[in-house]
Structure 1
Amino acid sequence: MADGLIEIEGKVIAVLPGTLFRIELPNKHVVLGHISGKLRKNFIKIVAGDMVRVEMDPKDLTQARIIYRLRNASPAVQQMQSQLHSAAAARRR
């Protein structure tokens, strides 16, 4: 991690044109993210619902760079996912 960058996990909630993504962070903030060159070079596909690790500049907390697509989420993110699923189930009722 570079000096001064914030690294955090989040969930991709929308895929936008131009390899941009809407990412929801555990604190419920939504940021605009783009994929890093390493992910682009290795053709790593990211779809809505994927858990990702992003890095953000403290000067601009509205944008993020996706640096890793997670296979298994951390406990905090798993809790966020379960809350989202229960909220979606409540809306269906």
Structure 2
Amino acid sequence: METQERYQAKGGEYVEPDGWRFGNKLERTDEGPVGEFPGCRFRLTPPVHEEVSLAVNVHVTGRDHWHGPSECWRCRCRIEYVGEDEPSTFGGGWLYHN
């Protein structure tokens, strides 16, 4: 039986964490870990606190669904908030992509 690979998050895609009124685009550098957080692939800036940039990893956990109002695909994802000298924390959300 063939297994379909899950979609992988990319820089520039929109993520809306659960509990946030709005999400934002993922920022990524293709050179590997971002800034001072080893193991971090992305930065996510909360729209209401633009001075804060969170170190995150995004892992797709669900199937794609067409989201008509946004005219794009979306899927459920697990968001890892990478800890600075402390354990990471995790939450859920939506990843919007083409």
TM-score of the two chains, using structure 1 as the length reference: 0.33
**Bigger helix share:** 1
TM-score of the two chains, using structure 2 as the length reference: 0.32
